[in-house]
């Protein structure tokens, strides 16, 4: 124990000593300021003017400014287009150099990699490492007695095709640099767009790679980033989204139309990245021999845990299709069962439509063409209905949309969509009401006893096995710190084992026998809804029945597919169309098109949710920006193009 304590104290002393040396010794090179002014033109090209204010405390000879211009960073996680490339404009590049405030550009030797120039050692000027998508700008101070004192470098260059245009948004996803000679004390970046008439709400921006910094969308054509300090180990990266019409002359190769690449996909990616970054933790693992044995042992334990506590019961119902509603629970309760205790955005829409179907709400259409994105629907509360049969989450939803958002009697989809936009109080109220809906819906699901009781205690018991890899991990960490063993692979293996086992145990959710029986029927009902269009022997029921089915299809996230089949099969229905509530009005004469209410109500909720989230994010500008409305820099990376940095020797 005494020996163990001594090693711990020695380790802490070593860490403290390293921090003191790093803090007080300083670097031979200081970068006091970095400025970049970026101007985008209608062709999607990017002009960059950079200023580096540096101090050299010992005499060096040369500096390289490496400029990468690849469009995608290594490991880019989203879809890419190999044709979507950028180019370095070799005809529009310049370097200016100042020493103690005096322009000495004509006294130093300049060199460029794309011209085949050579450095002071006689080698070809290249980036480090050399790359076909990187150019290096070189300055040799030999003729002026060396690189010493206060030096300012100004670079100007153009990147052709920096912008990527998707179906509904254009993007500049760029990394200005990912390495430099020293920490940067302060920095600023300005990005200027072509003049336009859009609102600042149409501009989105996120910053990455830095621990500090703020982003401000100053105007619809101007974004400014201010950073107090950029550590040597950090990089300066940002993603900016703007309307595609700002770049009408963009090259064809830089237009990437893909159903998976659009504004919402990019917003979702950045939002998830911000959450993951804020919660990120670092985990270490242990010595290779023990790690492999422990990992195998934990796999065996996990298999046994699965068999005993996680494997679902075998249901009595084994059919592929279930051609009627399996039970009478509300769509949110069904969703709680189907999606393992989760309530999704679709359950808001499904609950609304179910209340329309049950005639607690009347749905009316107003506005432009029904299938237009601007189509609007009015929801009217029917007060004479008996609400005693409604569950708490349904009653809450009525109060939310009519009393909070509406005028106690009516509310439009447009009102729902705009609620909380630009008003932080309403935005917070919207999110609070949404959370309450989810809470009450989950509570209703809990009362159904869909899930195994006593599972929590069993999970706590089997979680104790995690002490085995944790113990091996601590030994590996101790030996690595104190004996400098190269056991990184063992550390990684144990980290994966600990995290994977912990996440798995925490995620165990097992349905009860009755719950799994009900789930099997709902799953078969979902299969039926997906395939009924191909069932020649299936007699189509009336509109009232299909409205009931569509409510659950919405929560099951297949409403669009079901609607496409109904376009073909519904004309077989002989029932009077007026009997329905949201699927009836003019379904033959207007393209079916009251079914569009499903998508419109859903979009009003998701848009309202996004608007409230962005409003709160903008209000809390000092925090990591998660909505693209500006704010601060976050960790992680958008895997932007570009990169490079500065090198001196």
Please give the structure tokens belonging to residue 530: 């997906």
Q: Is 99 helix (H, G, I), strand (E, B) or coil?
A: strand
| Residue 586 pLDDT | 43
From the centroid of its chain, how far is CA 95? 38
User: What percent of the chain lies above the pLDDT cut of 90?
Assistant: 39
Q: Is a pLDDT exceeding 60 seen at residue 496?
A: yes
Bridge partner list, 134: 68
CA atoms within 13 A on the CB side of 446: 9
CA distance 423 to 375: 24
pLDDT band, residue 110 (cuts 50/70/90)? very high
Q: Is 299 helix (H, G, I), strand (E, B) or coil?
A: helix
Which segment of 108-122, 137-151, 354-368 scores lowest on mean pLDDT?
354-368
Q: Does residue 196 contact residue 613 with C-beta atoms inside 8 Å?
A: no
Cα distances from 291 to residues 226, 283, 438, 492, in angstroms, run 45, 14, 42, 9
Buried b (16+ CB within 10 A) or exposed e, 309-323: bbeebebeeeeeebe
| Residue 314 pLDDT | 87
| Residue 482 pLDDT | 60
Which segment of 468-472, 531-535, 577-581 scores lowest on mean pLDDT?
577-581
Say if residue 129 is preceded by a cis peptide, omega within 30 of 0: yes
Bridge partner list, 379: 363, 411
| Residue 475 pLDDT | 77
pLDDT band, residue 365 (cuts 50/70/90)? confident
Q: Is a pLDDT exceeding 70 seen at residue 267?
A: yes
Which segment of 86-100, 329-343, 533-547 scores lowest on mean pLDDT?
533-547
Bridge partner list, 147: 60
Q: Is 80 helix (H, G, I), strand (E, B) or coil?
A: coil
Please give the structure tokens belonging to residue 160: 């052709």
Buried b (16+ CB within 10 A) or exposed e, 113-150: beeebebeeeeebbbeeebebbbbbbbbbeeeeebbee
Phi, psi of 50 (to 5 degrees): -115, 150
CA distance 109 to 97: 10
Please give the structure tokens belonging to residue 120: 């002071």
CA distance 237 to 606: 29
pLDDT band, residue 638 (cuts 50/70/90)? low
| Residue 508 pLDDT | 83
Cα pseudo-dihedral 583, 586, 588, 590, rounded to 10: -110
Work out the average pLDDT over 471-483.
73
Mean pLDDT estimate for the chain: 82
Phi, psi of 469 (to 5 degrees): -65, -30
Type and span of the H or E element at 618: helix 596-619
CA distance 100 to 47: 27
Q: Is a pLDDT exceeding 70 seen at residue 9?
A: no
Which segment of 199-203, 333-337, 634-638 scores lowest on mean pLDDT?
634-638
Of 486, 345, 476, 343, the residue nearest 416 (C-alpha): 345
Residue labelled with tokens 């003729």: 143
Q: Does residue 454 contact residue 443 with C-beta atoms inside 8 Å?
A: no
CA distance 76 to 299: 31
| Residue 549 pLDDT | 86
CA distance 313 to 455: 14
| Residue 580 pLDDT | 63
| Residue 20 pLDDT | 46
Q: Is a pLDDT exceeding 90 seen at residue 474?
A: no
CA distance 132 to 68: 9
Q: Is 625 helix (H, G, I), strand (E, B) or coil?
A: coil
The DSSP result for 355-369, as a single string, is: HHHTTSEEEEEESS-
| Residue 14 pLDDT | 41
pLDDT in tens, 600-634: 777 788 888 888 888 877 766 545 555 565 666 66
CA distance 47 to 158: 4
CA distance 101 to 99: 5
Q: Does residue 77 contact residue 640 with C-beta atoms inside 8 Å?
A: no
Of 208, 207, 236, 246, the residue nearest 36 (C-alpha): 236
pLDDT in tens, 291-305: 888 888 988 888 888
By the 10 Å C-beta count (0-12 exposed, 13-18 middle, 19+ buried), 211 is classed as middle
| Residue 99 pLDDT | 95
Work out the average pLDDT over 551-559.
88
CA distance 243 to 259: 17
Q: Is 16 helix (H, G, I), strand (E, B) or coil?
A: helix
Bridge partner list, 37: 49, 190
Type and span of the H or E element at 264: helix 263-278
Q: Residues, the chain, total?
A: 649
| Residue 276 pLDDT | 59
Residue labelled with tokens 């051609």: 323
pLDDT in tens, 384-441: 888 888 999 999 999 998 999 889 899 888 888 888 787 888 888 888 998 999 999 9
Work out the average pLDDT over 51-71.
95
Phi, psi of 384 (to 5 degrees): -75, -5
CA distance 600 to 610: 15
pLDDT band, residue 640 (cuts 50/70/90)? confident
Q: Is a pLDDT exceeding 50 seen at residue 1?
A: no
| Residue 575 pLDDT | 47
The end-to-end CA distance of the chain, in Å, is 49
CA distance 349 to 606: 10
Integer-rounded Cα radius of gyration of the chain: 31
Which segment of 152-166, 241-255, 527-541, 564-578 scores lowest on mean pLDDT?
564-578
By the 10 Å C-beta count (0-12 exposed, 13-18 middle, 19+ buried), 260 is classed as exposed
| Residue 373 pLDDT | 53
pLDDT band, residue 41 (cuts 50/70/90)? very high
| Residue 541 pLDDT | 66
Phi, psi of 331 (to 5 degrees): -60, -35
Stronger pLDDT, 549 or 275, i.e. the higher one:
549
pLDDT band, residue 581 (cuts 50/70/90)? low
């Amino acid at each position: 124990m005494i020996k163990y304590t001594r090693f711990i104290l020695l380790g802490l002393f070593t860490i403290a000593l390293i921090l003191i040396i790093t803090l007080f010794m300083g670097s031979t090179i200081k970068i006091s300021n970095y400025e970049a002014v970026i101007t985008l033109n209608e062709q999607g090209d990017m002009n960059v003017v950079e200023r580096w204010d540096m101090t050299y405390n010992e005499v060096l000879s040369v500096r390289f400014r490496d400029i990468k211009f690849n469009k995608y960073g290594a490991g880019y996680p989203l879809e890419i287009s190999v044709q979507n490339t950028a180019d370095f404009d070799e005809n529009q590049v310049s370097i200016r150099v100042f020493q103690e405030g005096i322009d000495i550009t004509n006294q130093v030797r300049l060199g460029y990699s794309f011209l085949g120039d050579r450095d002071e050692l006689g080698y070809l000027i290249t980036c480090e490492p050399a790359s076909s998508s990187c150019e290096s700008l070189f300055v040799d101070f030999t003729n002026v007695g060396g690189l010493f004192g206060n030096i300012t470098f100004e670079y100007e260059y153009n990147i052709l095709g920096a912008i990527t245009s998707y179906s509904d948004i254009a993007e500049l996803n760029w990394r200005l640099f990912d390495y430099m000679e020293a920490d940067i004390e302060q920095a600023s970046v300005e990005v200027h767009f072509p003049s336009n008439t859009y609102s600042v709400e149409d501009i989105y921006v996120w910053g990455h790679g830095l621990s500090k910094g703020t982003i401000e969308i100053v105007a619809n054509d101007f974004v400014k980033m201010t950073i107090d300090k950029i550590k040597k180990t950090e990089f300066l990266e940002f993603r900016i989204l703007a309307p595609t019409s700002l770049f009408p002359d963009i090259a064809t190769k830089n237009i990437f139309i893909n159903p998976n690449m659009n504004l919402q996909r990019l917003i979702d990616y950045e939002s998830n990245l911000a959450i993951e970054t804020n919660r990120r933790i670092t985990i270490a693992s242990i010595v290779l021999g023990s790690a492999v044995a422990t990992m195998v042992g934990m796999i065996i334990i996990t298999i046994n845990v699965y068999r005993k506590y996680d494997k679902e019961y075998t249901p009595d119902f084994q059919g592929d299709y279930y051609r009627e509603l399996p039970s009478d629970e509300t769509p949110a309760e069904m969703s709680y069962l189907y999606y393992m205790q989760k309530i999704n955005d679709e359950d808001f829409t499904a609950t609304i439509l179910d209340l329309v179907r049950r005639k607690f709400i009347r749905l009316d259409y107003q506005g432009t063409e029904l299938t237009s994105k601007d189509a609007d629907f009015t929801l009217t509360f029917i007060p004479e209905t008996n609400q005693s049969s409604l569950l708490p989450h349904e009653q809450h939803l009525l109060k939310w949309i009519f009393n909070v958002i509406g005028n106690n009697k009516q509310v439009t989809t447009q009102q729902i969509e705009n609620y909380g936009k630009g008003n932080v109080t309403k935005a917070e109220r919207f999110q609070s009401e949404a959370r309450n809906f989810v809470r009450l819906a989950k509570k209703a699901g809990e009362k159904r006893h869909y899930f195994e009781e006593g599972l929590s205690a069993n999970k706590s018991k089997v979680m104790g096995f995690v002490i085995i890899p944790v113990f091996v991990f601590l030994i590996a960490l101790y030996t690595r710190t104190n004996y400098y063993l190269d056991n990184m692979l063992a550390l990684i293996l144990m980290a994966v084992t600990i995290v994977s086992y912990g996440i798995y145990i925490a995620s165990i959710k097992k349905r009860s026998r009755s719950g799994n029986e009900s789930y099997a029927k709902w799953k078969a009902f979902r299969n039926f809804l997906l395939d009924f269009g191909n069932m020649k022997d299936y007699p189509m029921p009336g509109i009232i029945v299909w409205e009931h089915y569509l409510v659950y299809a919405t929560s099951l996230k297949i409403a669009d597919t079901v609607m496409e089949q109904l376009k073909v099969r519904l004309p077989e229905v002989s029932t009077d169309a007026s009997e329905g509530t949201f699927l009836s009005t003019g379904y033959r004469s207007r393209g079916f098109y009251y079914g569009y209410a499903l998508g419109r109500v859903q979009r009003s909720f998701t848009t309202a949710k996004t608007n409230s989230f962005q409003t709160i994010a903008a209000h809390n500008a000092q925090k990591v920006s998660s909505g693209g409305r500006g704010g601060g820099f976050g960790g992680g990376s958008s895997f932007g193009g570009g990169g490079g940095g500065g090198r001196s020797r």
